[in-house]
Structure 1
Amino acid sequence: MLADGVTCAVMGVALAAGAGFVASLTGLPGGLLFWAGLALLPVAAFMLLTARSARPSRAAAWIIIAGNEAWVLGSVLLMLAGWVEPNALGYAFIAVQAAAVALLATIEFLALRRLSAAAA
Protein backbone atom coordinates (compact mmCIF):
# COMPACT_ATOMS: atom_id res chain seq x y z
CA MET A 1 0.00 0.00 0.00
CA LEU A 2 2.94 2.29 0.53
CA ALA A 3 3.94 2.07 -3.14
CA ASP A 4 0.31 2.62 -4.12
CA GLY A 5 0.06 5.70 -1.91
CA VAL A 6 3.30 7.19 -3.19
CA THR A 7 2.47 6.61 -6.86
CA CYS A 8 -1.04 7.93 -6.29
CA ALA A 9 0.34 11.12 -4.70
CA VAL A 10 2.91 11.62 -7.46
CA MET A 11 0.29 11.09 -10.17
CA GLY A 12 -2.14 13.41 -8.38
CA VAL A 13 0.38 16.24 -8.15
CA ALA A 14 1.59 15.66 -11.71
CA LEU A 15 -1.92 15.71 -13.16
CA ALA A 16 -3.11 18.68 -11.12
CA ALA A 17 0.02 20.75 -11.77
CA GLY A 18 0.60 19.64 -15.34
CA ALA A 19 -2.93 19.17 -16.64
CA GLY A 20 -2.46 21.57 -19.54
CA PHE A 21 0.81 20.00 -20.62
CA VAL A 22 -0.51 16.43 -20.37
CA ALA A 23 -3.67 17.51 -22.22
CA SER A 24 -1.59 18.94 -25.07
CA LEU A 25 0.25 15.62 -25.44
CA THR A 26 -2.68 13.23 -25.01
CA GLY A 27 -5.72 15.00 -26.39
CA LEU A 28 -7.48 14.44 -23.06
CA PRO A 29 -9.42 17.37 -21.57
CA GLY A 30 -7.29 19.46 -19.23
CA GLY A 31 -10.16 19.85 -16.78
CA LEU A 32 -10.58 16.10 -16.51
CA LEU A 33 -6.87 15.65 -15.85
CA PHE A 34 -6.78 18.48 -13.29
CA TRP A 35 -9.77 17.23 -11.30
CA ALA A 36 -8.61 13.62 -11.50
CA GLY A 37 -5.27 14.75 -10.09
CA LEU A 38 -6.91 16.63 -7.24
CA ALA A 39 -9.17 13.66 -6.49
CA LEU A 40 -6.13 11.41 -6.15
CA LEU A 41 -4.57 13.46 -3.34
CA PRO A 42 -6.95 12.51 -0.49
CA VAL A 43 -6.94 8.94 -1.78
CA ALA A 44 -3.14 8.93 -1.58
CA ALA A 45 -3.29 10.32 1.96
CA PHE A 46 -5.67 7.51 2.99
CA MET A 47 -3.39 4.91 1.42
CA LEU A 48 -0.30 6.32 3.10
CA LEU A 49 -2.00 6.50 6.49
CA THR A 50 -3.21 2.94 6.09
CA ALA A 51 0.25 1.75 5.02
CA ARG A 52 1.83 3.29 8.13
CA SER A 53 -0.03 0.88 10.36
CA ALA A 54 1.89 -2.21 11.44
CA ARG A 55 -1.29 -4.17 10.76
CA PRO A 56 -3.62 -2.24 8.44
CA SER A 57 -7.32 -2.86 8.93
CA ARG A 58 -8.94 -5.30 6.53
CA ALA A 59 -11.71 -2.78 5.87
CA ALA A 60 -9.22 -0.10 4.85
CA ALA A 61 -7.38 -2.58 2.62
CA TRP A 62 -10.63 -3.61 0.93
CA ILE A 63 -11.57 0.05 0.40
CA ILE A 64 -8.22 0.65 -1.30
CA ILE A 65 -8.52 -2.47 -3.46
CA ALA A 66 -12.10 -1.61 -4.46
CA GLY A 67 -11.12 1.98 -5.19
CA ASN A 68 -8.30 0.80 -7.42
CA GLU A 69 -10.61 -1.53 -9.30
CA ALA A 70 -13.14 1.29 -9.72
CA TRP A 71 -10.36 3.46 -11.16
CA VAL A 72 -9.45 0.72 -13.63
CA LEU A 73 -13.09 0.28 -14.65
CA GLY A 74 -13.47 4.04 -15.05
CA SER A 75 -10.36 4.14 -17.20
CA VAL A 76 -11.67 1.39 -19.47
CA LEU A 77 -15.04 3.14 -19.76
CA LEU A 78 -13.27 6.40 -20.55
CA MET A 79 -11.53 4.72 -23.47
CA LEU A 80 -14.57 2.86 -24.78
CA ALA A 81 -17.59 5.08 -24.09
CA GLY A 82 -16.68 7.97 -26.36
CA TRP A 83 -16.76 10.52 -23.54
CA VAL A 84 -13.36 11.84 -24.62
CA GLU A 85 -11.39 11.79 -27.86
CA PRO A 86 -7.76 11.16 -26.94
CA ASN A 87 -5.05 10.70 -29.51
CA ALA A 88 -2.95 7.51 -29.65
CA LEU A 89 -0.71 8.72 -26.83
CA GLY A 90 -3.82 9.52 -24.80
CA TYR A 91 -5.15 6.00 -25.20
CA ALA A 92 -1.73 4.62 -24.25
CA PHE A 93 -1.60 6.94 -21.21
CA ILE A 94 -5.00 5.74 -20.00
CA ALA A 95 -4.21 2.08 -20.66
CA VAL A 96 -0.78 2.11 -19.00
CA GLN A 97 -1.92 3.87 -15.85
CA ALA A 98 -4.95 1.56 -15.61
CA ALA A 99 -2.69 -1.48 -15.97
CA ALA A 100 -0.39 -0.15 -13.25
CA VAL A 101 -3.34 0.41 -10.91
CA ALA A 102 -4.70 -3.07 -11.68
CA LEU A 103 -1.29 -4.55 -10.85
CA LEU A 104 -1.17 -2.70 -7.53
CA ALA A 105 -4.70 -3.86 -6.68
CA THR A 106 -3.74 -7.45 -7.47
CA ILE A 107 -0.63 -7.26 -5.29
CA GLU A 108 -2.67 -5.76 -2.44
CA PHE A 109 -5.35 -8.43 -2.81
CA LEU A 110 -2.78 -11.24 -2.71
CA ALA A 111 -1.09 -9.70 0.34
CA LEU A 112 -4.43 -9.37 2.12
CA ARG A 113 -5.30 -12.97 1.30
CA ARG A 114 -1.91 -14.15 2.57
CA LEU A 115 -2.35 -12.20 5.82
CA SER A 116 -5.85 -13.61 6.25
CA ALA A 117 -4.58 -17.17 5.74
CA ALA A 118 -1.76 -16.63 8.23
CA ALA A 119 -4.20 -15.30 10.83
CA ALA A 120 -6.55 -18.28 10.42
Structure 2
Amino acid sequence: MTALISSKSLLGRSLLVDGIISGATGALMFLAASPLAGLLGLHESLLRIAGFSLLPYAALLVFLAVRPTVSRPLVWGIVVVNVLWAVDSLLLLTTDWVAPTLLGYAFTVFQAVAVAGFAALEYVGMRGGRTVLAA
Protein backbone atom coordinates (compact mmCIF):
# COMPACT_ATOMS: atom_id res chain seq x y z
CA MET A 1 0.00 0.00 0.00
CA THR A 2 1.18 3.52 -0.66
CA ALA A 3 1.02 6.42 1.71
CA LEU A 4 1.48 10.13 1.25
CA ILE A 5 3.67 12.47 3.23
CA SER A 6 1.16 14.50 5.20
CA SER A 7 2.41 16.91 7.83
CA LYS A 8 3.72 20.31 6.66
CA SER A 9 2.59 19.65 3.09
CA LEU A 10 -0.32 21.15 1.16
CA LEU A 11 -2.24 17.97 1.94
CA GLY A 12 -1.48 18.13 5.65
CA ARG A 13 -2.35 21.82 5.92
CA SER A 14 -5.56 21.31 3.92
CA LEU A 15 -6.64 18.42 6.12
CA LEU A 16 -5.88 20.43 9.25
CA VAL A 17 -7.79 23.55 8.20
CA ASP A 18 -10.66 21.41 6.87
CA GLY A 19 -10.76 19.56 10.20
CA ILE A 20 -10.73 22.73 12.29
CA ILE A 21 -13.42 24.46 10.23
CA SER A 22 -15.54 21.29 10.00
CA GLY A 23 -15.29 20.87 13.77
CA ALA A 24 -16.23 24.47 14.47
CA THR A 25 -19.12 24.36 12.00
CA GLY A 26 -20.28 21.02 13.36
CA ALA A 27 -20.19 22.25 16.95
CA LEU A 28 -22.09 25.41 16.01
CA MET A 29 -24.76 23.50 14.07
CA PHE A 30 -25.13 20.87 16.81
CA LEU A 31 -25.15 23.19 19.82
CA ALA A 32 -27.10 26.08 18.28
CA ALA A 33 -29.46 24.11 16.03
CA SER A 34 -32.60 25.65 17.51
CA PRO A 35 -31.73 29.34 17.01
CA LEU A 36 -30.02 28.62 13.69
CA ALA A 37 -33.13 26.83 12.42
CA GLY A 38 -35.14 30.02 12.74
CA LEU A 39 -32.46 32.20 11.17
CA LEU A 40 -31.66 29.87 8.30
CA GLY A 41 -35.07 28.34 7.61
CA LEU A 42 -33.55 24.86 7.87
CA HIS A 43 -34.92 22.04 10.01
CA GLU A 44 -33.49 21.90 13.51
CA SER A 45 -33.03 18.13 13.21
CA LEU A 46 -31.13 18.56 9.92
CA LEU A 47 -28.76 21.06 11.52
CA ARG A 48 -28.29 18.98 14.67
CA ILE A 49 -27.64 15.69 12.83
CA ALA A 50 -25.37 17.29 10.22
CA GLY A 51 -23.46 19.11 12.95
CA PHE A 52 -23.09 15.97 15.03
CA SER A 53 -21.86 13.99 12.02
CA LEU A 54 -19.16 16.59 11.37
CA LEU A 55 -17.55 16.17 14.79
CA PRO A 56 -15.95 12.72 14.37
CA TYR A 57 -15.16 13.55 10.74
CA ALA A 58 -13.33 16.69 11.86
CA ALA A 59 -11.43 14.72 14.50
CA LEU A 60 -10.34 12.23 11.82
CA LEU A 61 -9.12 15.04 9.57
CA VAL A 62 -7.07 16.65 12.34
CA PHE A 63 -5.67 13.25 13.35
CA LEU A 64 -4.60 12.56 9.77
CA ALA A 65 -3.17 16.05 9.33
CA VAL A 66 -0.64 15.56 12.12
CA ARG A 67 0.40 12.06 11.02
CA PRO A 68 3.71 11.81 9.15
CA THR A 69 2.01 9.79 6.40
CA VAL A 70 -1.55 9.08 5.38
CA SER A 71 -3.05 6.35 3.21
CA ARG A 72 -3.77 7.38 -0.38
CA PRO A 73 -7.13 5.51 -0.44
CA LEU A 74 -8.15 7.27 2.76
CA VAL A 75 -7.41 10.65 1.22
CA TRP A 76 -9.44 9.65 -1.85
CA GLY A 77 -12.30 8.80 0.52
CA ILE A 78 -12.07 12.22 2.16
CA VAL A 79 -12.10 13.95 -1.23
CA VAL A 80 -15.16 11.93 -2.30
CA VAL A 81 -17.00 12.63 0.98
CA ASN A 82 -16.31 16.35 0.61
CA VAL A 83 -17.55 16.39 -2.98
CA LEU A 84 -20.71 14.48 -2.00
CA TRP A 85 -21.34 16.87 0.91
CA ALA A 86 -21.02 19.88 -1.39
CA VAL A 87 -23.27 18.41 -4.09
CA ASP A 88 -25.87 17.22 -1.56
CA SER A 89 -25.91 20.65 0.09
CA LEU A 90 -26.70 22.32 -3.21
CA LEU A 91 -29.25 19.67 -4.17
CA LEU A 92 -30.99 20.20 -0.82
CA LEU A 93 -31.79 23.74 -1.96
CA THR A 94 -33.68 22.36 -4.97
CA THR A 95 -36.07 20.26 -2.89
CA ASP A 96 -39.30 21.13 -1.13
CA TRP A 97 -37.93 19.55 2.05
CA VAL A 98 -36.50 22.88 3.27
CA ALA A 99 -37.61 26.47 2.90
CA PRO A 100 -34.42 28.40 3.63
CA THR A 101 -34.33 32.09 4.27
CA LEU A 102 -31.98 34.24 2.23
CA LEU A 103 -29.42 33.75 5.00
CA GLY A 104 -30.09 30.00 4.83
CA TYR A 105 -29.39 29.96 1.10
CA ALA A 106 -26.20 31.96 1.63
CA PHE A 107 -25.04 29.68 4.48
CA THR A 108 -25.73 26.51 2.49
CA VAL A 109 -24.10 27.75 -0.71
CA PHE A 110 -21.08 29.20 1.14
CA GLN A 111 -20.39 26.01 3.05
CA ALA A 112 -20.88 23.90 -0.11
CA VAL A 113 -18.35 26.03 -1.99
CA ALA A 114 -15.93 25.90 0.97
CA VAL A 115 -16.21 22.10 1.21
CA ALA A 116 -15.70 21.76 -2.55
CA GLY A 117 -12.65 23.99 -2.19
CA PHE A 118 -11.23 21.71 0.50
CA ALA A 119 -11.87 18.71 -1.74
CA ALA A 120 -9.93 20.42 -4.52
CA LEU A 121 -7.04 21.39 -2.23
CA GLU A 122 -6.84 17.87 -0.79
CA TYR A 123 -6.94 16.39 -4.28
CA VAL A 124 -4.16 18.69 -5.47
CA GLY A 125 -2.20 17.98 -2.29
CA MET A 126 -2.61 14.25 -2.84
CA ARG A 127 -1.63 14.42 -6.50
CA GLY A 128 1.40 16.57 -5.80
CA GLY A 129 2.40 14.82 -2.60
CA ARG A 130 5.42 12.62 -2.24
CA THR A 131 4.47 8.93 -2.13
CA VAL A 132 6.14 6.45 0.18
CA LEU A 133 5.67 2.71 0.53
CA ALA A 134 3.86 1.76 3.71
CA ALA A 135 4.38 -1.56 5.40
TM-score by length of 1: 0.93
Q: CA RMSD in A?
A: 1.3
Matched residue, 1:56: 70
More helix by share: 1
- In the TM superposition, 1:1-120 aligns within 5 A as 1-115=15-129, 118-119=130-131
Structure 2 gap segments, 5+ residues each? 1-14
Shift of 1:119: 4.0
- Which 4+ stretches in 1 moved above 4 angstroms? none
- What residue ranges of structure 1 are gaps of 5+ in the alignment? none
Contact 1:50 1:60 in 2 (8 A): no
Aligned residues: 118
**Higher RCO, 1 vs 2 (CA within 8 Å, ≥6 residues apart):** 2
Identical positions, percent:
37
**TM superposition score normalised by structure 2:** 0.83
Point out the structure with the larger strand share.
2
